[in-house]
């Protein structure tokens, strides 16, 4: 019987600090109830990757599955020549949606590959290998997406210190809506770098403010103060607009959702399209979910916390 290893990892949302986290600010992220599943199975012949209708040999530099190939080649090195494997990827998360699709693929692939190769599978080792894939496609990621997908729950993250789990004394619901407009994280990171060079002093002020905002969010969550949490999300959106990562279509989507029974709403992730998140009032969760399902092709309600990396086989 062929040996198989299967791992799955969740997508994520960011509540505060996206982009500024790349420059040292605190940021808060949480895993969501949409996952990526990666299977590695012994197979005869050349090793290949399969996702939907797309297929590519691991040793073929055809521009497809670059992230996955980077991780596999690093983990297996010469072993790839001696043993064929079939890597199958399935995902609930749209690519380019700002919901951590690539990080979830990176984490699940790194975990499955390390375990298949009988190598160390500690969280730190999986993070290290997964981040190699993220850097290959995103250039200079902070690591927050990988860390959140790996650990699950809700995290206070800084690239300069260890992430800290944020304890939740109650389940919190977030609405997630994908705009239908994909974007490239690396492009948005470069756009923010240009903005920083244009206005370095005020950008530094906003970076420091993002840290204070994230710490205020931790306090609001600890107190169970949802109106305050929503207000802080709204403030975060104004900073993201100033650095140029919101768009007219995202602004219109935010305006529509803000008219519903929510405490706060903002873009999540890199921006430039992608997705928004909203914090619904507790008694409006069901009605809001139905409204969004009727009016938008991809939306869902997620409870926080959610599990991180999971071994399926």
CB distance 81 to 103 below 8 Å: no
- The label of the residue with tokens 């600890």 reads 222
Q: Which two tokens stand for residue 201?
A: 């002093």
Per residue, the 3-state secondary structure of 211-278, as one string, reads HHHHHHHHHHHHHCCHHHHHHHHHHHHHHHHHCCCCCHHHHHHHHHHHCCCEEEEEEECCCCCCEEEE
CA–CA separation, 196 and 204 (whole Å): 8
Residues labelled catalytic: 145
CB distance 277 to 209 below 8 Å: no
CA–CA separation, 308 and 313 (whole Å): 15
CA–CA separation, 59 and 90 (whole Å): 21
């Amino acid at each position: 019987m062929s040996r198989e290893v299967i791992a799955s990892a969740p997508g994520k949302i960011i509540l505060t600090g996206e982009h500024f986290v790349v420059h040292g600010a605190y940021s808060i992220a949480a895993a969501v109830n949409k996952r990526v599943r990666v299977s590695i199975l012994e197979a005869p012949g050349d090793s290949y990757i399969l996702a939907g209708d797309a297929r590519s040999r691991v040793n073929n530099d055809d521009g497809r599955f670059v992230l996955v190939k980077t991780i596999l080649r690093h983990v297996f090195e010469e072993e790839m020549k001696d043993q064929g494997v079939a890597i199958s990827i399935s995902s609930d998360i749209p690519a380019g949606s700002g919901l951590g699709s690539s990080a979830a693929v990176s984490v699940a692939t790194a975990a499955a590959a390390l375990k298949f190769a009988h190598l160390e599978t500690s969280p730190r080792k999986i993070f290290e290998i997964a981040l190699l894939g993220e850097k290959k496609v995103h250039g200079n990621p902070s690591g927050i997406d990988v860390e959140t997908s790996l650990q699950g729950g809700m995290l206070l993250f800084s690239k300069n210190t260890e992430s800290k789990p944020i304890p939740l004394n109650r389940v919190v619901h977030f609405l997630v809506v994908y705009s239908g407009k994909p974007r490239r994280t690396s492009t948005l990171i470069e756009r923010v770098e240009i903005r920083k060079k244009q206005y370095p002093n005020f950008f530094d002020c906003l970076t420091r403010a993002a840290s204070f905002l994230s710490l205020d969010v931790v306090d609001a969550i600890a107190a169970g103060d949802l109106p305050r949490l929503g207000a802080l999300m709204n403030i975060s959106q104004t900073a993201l607009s100033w650095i140029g990562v919101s768009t007219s279509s995202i602004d219109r989507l935010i305006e529509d959702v803000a008219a519903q029974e929510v405490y706060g709403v903002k873009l999540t992730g890199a921006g430039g399209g992608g997705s928004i998140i909203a914090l619904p009032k507790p008694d409006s969760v069901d009605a809001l979910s139905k409204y969004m399902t009727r009016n938008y092709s991809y939306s869902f309600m997620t409870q926080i916390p959610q599990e991180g990396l999971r071994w399926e086989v």
